[in-house]
Structure 1
Amino acid sequence: MTHSVNDLRFVERMGGALTDAGLPRLPSRAFAALLSDEDGRMTAAELAAALEVSPAGVSGAVNYLARVGMLRRERHRGSRRDVYVVDDDAWHTAMLRRDQLYAPMVGALDEAIADLGDDDPRRVRLVLTREFLVFVDEELADLATRWDDRRRALLRRSR
């Protein structure tokens, strides 16, 4: 599979933007490569070639992306080779996994808050942190519903 200069430019630019937003560099570039791939499906060897990195680097990158829900792993039929797939709506898919992100943090905060007295100076900071995460989680649920509506409208218009 060959990539055009524009594809490579996109991978570097989008990868850089994702890195600036806090994602590790190689997973950012791998996600960008999959996002810009014609069918959004690449093997580890294809990713390594496209990104000019080692297969070991690709392994760590795709494991990270799978863990955060930005891609999924499939098997070639009759083969032991994995294919890494980014869905057309990968951001939405990752966002729907918010319970795996926020619930453990809220649980840890609940435990810590329960162990503190009302006059403990740490209590306010921990309560505000917990309430912020609960607020964000609730807002993301509403946002996901609005996105579903908008996505359906976009898909209807594009047909």
Structure 2
Amino acid sequence: MTADKPTAQHRFVERFGSALTEAGLQRLPARVFAALLADDDGRMTAAELGEVLSVSAASVSGAVRYLQQLRMIHREREKGSRRDVYVVADDAWHDMMMNTPRVYEPMTTALRDGVDLVGGRATSAGKRIALSVDFLEFVSEEMGSIAERWDKRRAELGH
């Protein structure tokens, strides 16, 4: 991907990165994820990502750390080297979405405790916070069912 003449791959990275940013992901992590997704083997070093995205390798480190926390990518050691390679899984969306217990549990616990801290379910705030707990518990329960249905669908699609 050159700055002189953007390739179709570069246009995809920028367009999809922008879509992810509009959805709430930070700009550079969105672009890093898009670049890894568009890379043929889905594996790049920080230096390679920096070159592709025209940013410093140092700025890439914060972006990949953020994406690792979301479980959108993971880090591996390059064979025969001490360099880290960042890898996007073929089913990265699945991995990220199935991460809900780690994401939602701390929030659910804090919200559950918060119901009493704001005066209980008899107050408007307590009802609102309790509804948040109920929703997050529902979403967490449903994710297991979604994972099972996706596994079946993925097999039907031949992936």
TM above 0.5:
yes
- Mark the CA change 1:113 to 1:42 in structure 2 (over 3 Å): closer, same or farther: same
Q: State the percentage of identical aligned residues.
A: 53
- Distance of 2:112 and 2:120 partners within structure 1: 13
1:45 corresponds to = 47
1:68 aligns with 2:70: yes
- Distance of 1:98 and 1:143 partners within structure 2: 12
- Distance of 2:120 and 2:142 partners within structure 1: 30
| Mean Cα deviation higher: 131-140 or 109-118 | 109-118
**What residue ranges of structure 2 are gaps of 5+ in the alignment?**
none
Residue correspondence of structure 1 range 1-159 to structure 2 within 5 A: 5-115=7-117, 116-155=119-158
- Distance of 1:119 and 1:32 partners within structure 2: 47
Q: TM-score, normalised to structure 2's length?
A: 0.92
1:77-133 alpha-carbon deviations (Å, 9 max, x no partner): 232210000011000011111101111111001111233334333111101111111
**What residue ranges of structure 1 are gaps of 5+ in the alignment?**
none
Q: TM-score, normalised to structure 1's length?
A: 0.92
Helix, strand or coil for the counterpart of 2:25?
coil
| Mean Cα deviation higher: 133-142 or 101-110 | 133-142
- Distance of 2:124 and 2:97 partners within structure 1: 33
**How far apart are 1:68 and its partner, in Å?**
0.5
**How far apart are 1:146 and its partner, in Å?**
0.8
- Mark the CA change 1:118 to 1:68 in structure 2 (over 3 Å): closer, same or farther: closer
- Distance of 1:118 and 1:55 partners within structure 2: 50
